[in-house]
Amino acid sequence: MKRIIIAGTACLAVLGILGCGGAGMGGGGGANNKAACLKWVEKHNSMPCLKVAQLDPESSCPDALDMSPTDMSKMYECQAENTKCNGDIPDLAGMMNCSAL
C-alpha cells in the first residue's frame, strides 16, 4: 500500500513539473513558478502521512521553472492547498483537480 502511495505522490510531483502546458494557465510567464513550487514542496514535506515520500526542493523545483513562458503558480498553489492526509494515508483527491488549471 505504501508503494502505491509513494508512486502516486511521485506521479503528482512529475505532473506538477512536466505537465504544465495546459490551456487556461494564464500567459504571464513563470516568474513565480519556483516560489509557488517551493511552498507546495514545503507543505508536502510537512505532512505526517507523506514522511516516507519526501520531495527534494531543488530537484522538484529547479530554477528553470521561472524561465517557463507558462505561469504554473496557480497549479502549485492548488497543490499546496489540497495536500492533505486522511489519517495516515495521503488524500490525493483534491490534487487531481489541480492539473486542469
What is the average per-residue pLDDT within 58-77? Answer: 92
Per-residue pLDDT reduced to its tens digit, 9-58: 555 554 555 544 444 444 456 789 999 999 999 999 998 998 888 999 99
The Cα 5–Cα 7 span in angstroms is: 5
Per-residue pLDDT at 51: 84
**How many domains does the structure of the chain reveal?**
1
Q: Is the pTM higher than 0.75?
A: no
Domain residues for 47? 2-100
